[in-house]
Structure 1
Amino acid sequence: MARQLAAVLAALLALCAFIAVADAQAKAPVGPALPKNSHMIHPGRFGKRDQVLSCDDTKDGKNPCVATCDKRCPNECIVMCPGCKTYCLCDFYPGMSCGDPRFTGADGNNFYFHGKKDQDFCVVSDADLHINAHFIGKRNPTMSRDFTWIQALGIRFADHQLYMGAQKTIEWNNDIDRLEMALDGAPIEIPANLGATWESDIVPGLTVTRTAVTNGVRVQLQGVFDIMAKVVPISEEDSRIHNYGVTKDDSLAHLDIGFKFNNLTEDVHGVLGQTYRSDYVNKLSVSANMPVMGGATRYVSSGIFATDCEVARFGHHVGISMVTAQAN
């Protein structure tokens, strides 16, 4: 009798496990968050820096490779297959902005643009596209400048305004989504599922896809731009190493961002935009440990969606084309 009861219990447990797996598969997100040949590692969340990934086709008989997330990427790595090459988010695109804003120009060179806290600066300005960045920061009394980070982006295209920002956060918890987005003032709501996608019903070709359950998205406007964004805090360790002076009342949540652009004109400008010009000449000291782009006053805008910086190009031609038409 005892053996029969044990067998019944085992069968019930197996059935429950089967139902749980089937339910999880039914709720699985549709569509990849990143290109099909890539995976994500989150060592900061799961504490496992080396992870086995089957980058190669399992039918070819090759053994899975081991991808190692570099210490430079404490929260997240992108693993490109085949080959299991790993990248920090800040290495994924030319045109990156990470940390105390370190940009990677279209020419492949890194440079810093410190700006100033609580001000907006035009990052890219072209005839049909304008992107401003809002800076937050901390004052270090031993230095002549602020420590700064990009908290939000204001993106103008055609007659639309797209906002993407990190909400102020006192105590950081990566399981809580601190990313805020809006199109023309209306909030963008995306299900908290990896790979979940929101598609605009007023802007053809505009989509937002979650690259993580919380705090990570990929924003695409077909034929115009492809933006990867991740909300990250300043860790206690980073604050200690760099003397940022982070206090418990603000984790200084900010955006690490990757940009890709299509169809920029030869007249494009802005902190990052100018590096996409064919006539761009890098006058920074590339041999310096921290080459810095100055001239911040040229890039100051009066607001997150303002197009009044000195180097603004938005709308500077007759008969502005509707960039959304390129997605049709």
Structure 2
Amino acid sequence: MARPESCLGAAAIVLVMLCAVMSSAAAQPRRPLPPNSQVIHPGRFGKRAQVVTCDNKKDKKKPCIATCDKRCPNECLVLCSSCKTYCLCDFYPGMSCGDPRFTGADGNNFYFHGKKDQDFCVVSDADLHINAHFIGKRNPSMSRDFTWIQALGIRFADHRLYLGAQKTSKWNNDIDRLELAFNGATIDISTDIGAHWQSTAMPGLTVTRTSMTNGVRVELKGVFDIMTKVVPITEEDSRAHNYGVTEDDSLAHLDIGFKFYDLTDDVHGVLGQTYRSDYVNKLNVSSSMPVMGGVARYVSSDIFATDCKVSRFGHNGAISMVTTKAN
């Protein structure tokens, strides 16, 4: 795999973790949280039995005590009015959790397992192409890999942007494991929250620290707004799901949130296709694990390659428009 070298109307929102969720709800490019709600972060502390108390003093009700459900990988939402908890994958369109579970633009959840050590086009449009590199572990009792997204390769105009999680043995959240590069050059940004980097080649491209380590917001004016954070698989998750985390690999991967602007109605890719006006969901949405197949259609030969069978990149011959919007 090569490493960094060198809409349906206005704002289509896609929140994708491409493997769990961001640690800071307020910072995510998604709609505001409901009033009188709280977010639980079990993944941050490595335990599920974390209990939170939230209270709306105006409703005269007793405080609600809720526990995050085990099926929520790293974060869940507590609605205090009803005392119910939700995985953010259930609550926000486009989000993906776990072994990647996406929520399409139609609001339905589906899994796309892909294969470890391969690249797949997640979004492909005339002026934007995003591939995801999958890492994984083989469970001998299953016919597929456990997979997570380790990196994104983003193409726009003649530029290449790389966002990746470095392989990590013993996880320490105080150490920055996020790798960023633009056109092959490493993006250096200090670890102060709010620290800012701006491209000289494309002034509309900026990177801002959302946490001292492992979290940034990447924006290209008029094109996308991406939040990403590096997270590990916890020992508890590994035991519960038999992921096979070892001392030499914590399976560090990306939690990702996207906001896109001006995607065309011809957009494709694993997730991108769900934003087409003619998209028809043929998955068994009543299943506990609806799986999107057709892996071969989405395989790319490289993290920056645009050769997947459903590629749309460059089809309108107006790639330069991205640069124009960014300035």
1:101 alignment partner in structure 2: 100
**Secondary structure at 1:163's aligned position in 2?**
strand
> What's the CA shift for 1:74?
6.6
TM-score by length of 1: 0.77
Whole-Å separation in 1 of the counterparts to 2:213 and 2:243 = 25
Percent identity (aligned) = 76
Cα deviation, 1:261-294, whole Å, max 9, x if unaligned, reads 1101111111001001000000001100010000
Are residues 1:146 and 2:145 paired?
yes
Are residues 1:298 and 2:297 paired?
yes
Change in 2 beyond 3 A, CA 1:37/1:97: closer
Flag as ranges the 4+ runs of structure 1 deviating above 4 A. Answer: 32-49, 65-69, 71-80, 85-93
Cα deviation, 1:235-262, whole Å, max 9, x if unaligned, reads 1111111111222111100112122211
Change in 2 beyond 3 A, CA 1:324/1:51: farther
Whole-Å separation in 1 of the counterparts to 2:91 and 2:271 = 16
**Secondary structure at 2:320's aligned position in 1?**
coil
Change in 2 beyond 3 A, CA 1:37/1:116: closer
Count of paired positions: 291
1:50 alignment partner in structure 2: 52
Change in 2 beyond 3 A, CA 1:263/1:68: farther
Are residues 1:221 and 2:223 paired?
no
> What's the CA shift for 1:196?
2.2
The partner residue of 1:70 within 68, 90, 101 is: 68
TM-score by length of 2: 0.77
> Which amino acid is 1:288 matched to?
S
1:7 alignment partner in structure 2: none
Of structures 1 and 2, the one with the larger relative CO (CA 8 A, separation 6+) is: 2
> What's the CA shift for 1:227?
1.5
2:195 alignment partner in structure 1: 196
CA RMSD of aligned residues (A): 3.3
Which is richer in helix?
Answer: 1
**Secondary structure at 1:326's aligned position in 2?**
helix
Cα deviation, 1:117-169, whole Å, max 9, x if unaligned, reads 00000001011000000000111111111111110000000110000000000
- Note the residue ranges of structure 2 that are not aligned, 5 or more in a row: 1-25, 58-62
**Secondary structure at 1:248's aligned position in 2?**
coil
Larger Rg over CA atoms: 1
Are residues 1:120 and 2:122 paired?
no
2:260 alignment partner in structure 1: 261
Q: Is the 8 A contact 2:138 2:146 kept in 1?
A: yes
- Note the residue ranges of structure 1 that are not aligned, 5 or more in a row: 1-31, 57-64
